[in-house]
Amino acid sequence: MKVIKVLLADDHKLLREGLHALIDEQSNMKVIAEAEDGRAALRLARKLSPDVVVMDISMPGLNGIEATRQIMSAAYGIKVLALSMHDDARLVTEMLDAGASGYLLKDCAFEELIQAIHSVAEQGTYVSPKINDMLFRDHVQSGRKLEPSVKVLY
């Protein structure tokens, strides 16, 4: 069984330490480092090549969106999972556009975080049901029409 290497990036030490302890109790996961800001997350991701970075958005120095963008542009095969208190559609969209493979709210259950880490580590995606519902409502209320991504020629 492959052990998923996790990097935690959040400016709140108590949250990092708590998640570190809980994630390390999982038989197939290991926290390999903690970052207190986006710059440290970027540096540690480049140095350690984790499988998944659990990334907060609001951090000093370099925010999680820009840190994600830079990690993804380096093409290390690293997956980023946003874990944020922000449920604003604009921030969610920016984070996903930056290359995050998933988005969770900090009020989620720990079991959902573990499920999300597994999902993104296995080349999938994960968006919490609350975020998915919010994005759908935002899209419907905006009245935007989606352009088809594939043109069909007859």
- pLDDT, tens digit (0-9, with 9 covering 90-100), for 64-93: 999 999 999 986 789 999 999 988 888 999
Residue 128 in any domain: the answer is yes
For residue 8, the SS3 value is strand
Closest CA to 54 of 97, 143, 132, 118: 118
Place of tokens 């926290």: 31
Amino acid at 66: E
**Residue-wise pLDDT tens digits, 4-24:** 999 999 999 999 999 999 999
- Rounded to an integer, what distance in angstroms lies between the CA atom of residue 135 and that of residue 64? 20
Residue 150 in any domain: the answer is no
Cβ-Cβ contacts under 8 Å for 69 (sequence gap 6 or more): 98, 99
For residue 98, the SS3 value is helix
Residue 153 in any domain: the answer is no
How many separate domains does the chain show?
1
Question: DSSP character for 3?
Answer: P
- Rounded to an integer, what distance in angstroms lies between the CA atom of residue 95 and that of residue 89? 10
Q: What is the residue range of 78's domain?
A: 4-142
Quickly state the pLDDT bin for 134 (edges 50, 70, 90).
confident
User: What CATH number is associated with residue 10?
Assistant: 3.40.50.2300
Residue 151 in any domain: the answer is no
pTM: 0.86
